[in-house]
């Protein structure tokens, strides 16, 4: 069994007590801290004997939602959905991996497939991936999405934009605005999430394409693989990016040293960017993304090779490289995520909800002062590989699964 480090309970208690002092700039108050702590929700043996860098970095105490809620299946007719975003009128725009979008009403009625989307490389992990809508969508009806695109030399993580037609049957004037270069003849680790920041720029995650050949490029500033990039609506590097004045760096890079980021979310109180990324065998991570920082892959990791070997000699810490706020071993395969900012279930306020694939659940993380202080697993009895999650206009959470389901999670 996993052994809790000396001082673990004391340290967690300290984190909890500190929350009573959190002000408007903090992520919680004393009332937000769960009082029903139990043993960790993870009971399986870890793959490694690596020690966390600090207490509470993994296998935190479990919590349980006290408010009555339900997870209701609204439809099972989606075809391998990958991304979901709330529309201003309460409906949802959803990508299907094979290369089409659908609109779903809040009661689960689906539109016909939306046409006009550029061809995707639909193989293995490739396809039509994450999406977002313009902050001025009600006026311009613009949609932005990520997909795997075939180009000379292989395929890339690409970003495109287009206008949803008035009759909602097609995407008009679809245009590819960004490609994460170099291209590679592989079919894994595209990243694929996309968000708008407060300044109207796009934040996009890329993968390092998995293979030993490309893996080191996560550390290269001359490569867009294994990065979080920040670009304009036209795909140009956004102003204020950290390496804009480095002639040897890609000017679109915001952070680097990532493996395969499939979750991006803004904290509703602090406004900070959070991400999650897949580890190898163990070492799935949740990170607080800071501009210009190095998140370590593959130089440091809490996971091991799929064959069992150590990565980079088994190093988990390195000066100048960021530690994950939280990690899982064994993996849960975290994908899309969102912070809850609704009022329907007050105990969920500012909690992070993550759609987990191999974990077959929605992970709820309670975060206080940028530390995870509690973990819960929702809908684990559904047997679904959850791919993405968003908050609806009604204050409930809506999640999609690879099995084609759309869930409403709330009161």
Q: Which whole number is the average pLDDT over 364-374?
A: 97
Look at residue 9 in the predicted model and tell me its pLDDT: 35
Tokens of 379: 């809908």
- Identify the residue whose tokens are 């804009």: 244
Q: Return mean pLDDT, the chain.
A: 92
Q: Cα–Cα distance between 90 and 75 in angstroms, integer?
A: 16
Q: Cα–Cα distance between 79 and 94 in angstroms, integer?
A: 10
Q: Which whole number is the average pLDDT over 348-371?
A: 98
Look at residue 35 in the predicted model and tell me its pLDDT: 57
Residues in the chain: 411
Look at residue 278 in the predicted model and tell me its pLDDT: 98
Q: Which whole number is the average pLDDT over 163-192?
A: 98
Q: Which whole number is the average pLDDT over 149-177?
A: 98
For residue 189, indicate whether it is catalytic.
yes
Over residues 306-326, the pLDDT tens digits come to: 999 999 999 999 999 999 999
Nearest CA to 207 out of 263, 165, 136, 134 is that of: 263
Boundaries of every domain in the chain = 8-410
Q: Which whole number is the average pLDDT over 279-297?
A: 98
Residue 322, SS3 per DSSP: coil
CA-to-CA separations, 40 to 2, 280, 328, in angstroms, rounded: 10, 22, 11
Q: Which whole number is the average pLDDT over 340-358?
A: 97
Q: Which whole number is the average pLDDT over 387-400?
A: 97
Q: Topology of domain 8-410, per CATH? A: Neuraminidase (2.120.10)
**Given 189, 258, 267, 361, the catalytic residue:** 189
% residues pLDDT > 90 (the chain): 91
Residue 348, SS3 per DSSP: helix
Task: Note the pTM of the prediction, 2 decimals.
Answer: 0.92
Question: Of the ranges 1-15, 117-131, 187-201, 324-338, which one carries the lowest mean pLDDT score?
Answer: 1-15
Spatial neighbors of 52 by CB under 8 A, at least 6 apart, are 5, 58, 302, 327
Over residues 68-116, the pLDDT tens digits come to: 999 999 999 999 999 999 999 999 999 999 999 999 999 999 999 999 9
Q: Which whole number is the average pLDDT over 20-29?
A: 40
pLDDT-based confidence at residue 32 (cuts at 50, 70, 90): low
Look at residue 3 in the predicted model and tell me its pLDDT: 34
Is the predicted pLDDT of residue 17 greater than 50, yes or no? no
Is the predicted pLDDT of residue 157 greater than 90, yes or no? yes
Is the predicted pLDDT of residue 336 greater than 50, yes or no? yes
Over residues 201-219, the pLDDT tens digits come to: 999 999 999 999 999 999 9
Cα pseudo-dihedral 237, 239, 240, 244, rounded to 10: 50
Is the predicted pLDDT of residue 389 greater than 80, yes or no? yes
At CA 196, angle to CA 76 and CA 84, rounded to 5? 0
Q: 116 — alpha (psi -120 to 50), left (phi > 0) or beta?
A: left
């Amino acid at each position: 069994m996993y052994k809790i480090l000396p001082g673990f309970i004391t340290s967690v208690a300290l984190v909890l007590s500190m929350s009573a002092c959190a002000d408007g700039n903090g992520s919680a108050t004393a009332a937000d801290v769960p009082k029903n702590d139990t043993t960790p929700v993870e009971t399986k043996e870890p793959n490694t004997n690596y020690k966390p860098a600090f207490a509470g970095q993994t296998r935190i105490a479990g919590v349980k939602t006290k408010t009555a809620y339900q997870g209701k299946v609204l439809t099972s007719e989606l075809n391998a959905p990958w991304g979901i975003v709330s529309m201003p009128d309460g409906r949802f725009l959803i990508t299907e991996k094979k290369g089409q979008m659908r609109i779903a009403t809040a009661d689960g009625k689906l539109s016909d497939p939306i046409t006009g989307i550029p061809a995707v490389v639909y193989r293995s992990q490739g396809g039509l991936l994450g999406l977002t809508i313009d902050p001025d969508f009600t006026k311009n009806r613009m949609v932005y999405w990520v997909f795997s695109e075939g180009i000379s030399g292989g395929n890339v993580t690409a970003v495109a934009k287009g206008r949803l037609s008035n009759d909602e049957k097609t995407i008009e004037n679809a245009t590819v605005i960004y490609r994460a270069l170099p291209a590679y003849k592989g079919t894994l680790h595209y990243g694929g999430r996309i968000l708008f920041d407060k300044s109207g720029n796009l934040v996009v995650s890329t993968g390092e394409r998995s293979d030993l050949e490309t893996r080191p490029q996560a550390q290269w500033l001359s490569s867009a693989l294994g990065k979080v990039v920040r670009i304009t609506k036209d795909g140009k590097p956004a102003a204020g990016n950290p390496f804009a004045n480095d002639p040897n760096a890609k000017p679109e890079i915001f952070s680097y040293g990532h493996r395969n980021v499939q979750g991006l979310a803004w904290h509703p109180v602090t406004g900070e960017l959070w991400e999650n990324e897949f580890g190898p065998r163990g070492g799935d991570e949740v990170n607080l993304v800071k501009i210009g920082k190095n998140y370590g892959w593959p130089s440091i990791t809490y996971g091991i090779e799929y064959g069992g070997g150590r990565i980079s000699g088994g190093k988990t810490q390195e000066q100048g490289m960021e530690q994950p706020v939280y990690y899982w071993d064994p993996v849960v395969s975290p994908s899309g995520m969102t912070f809850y900012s609704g009022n329907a279930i007050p105990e969920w306020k500012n909690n992070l909800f993550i759609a987990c694939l191999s974990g077959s659940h929605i992970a709820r993380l309670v975060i206080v002062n940028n530390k995870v202080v509690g973990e819960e697993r929702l809908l684990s009895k559904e047997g679904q590989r959850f791919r993405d999650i968003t908050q609806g206009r009604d204050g409930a959470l809506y999640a999609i699964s690879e099995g084609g389901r759309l869930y409403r999670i709330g009161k």
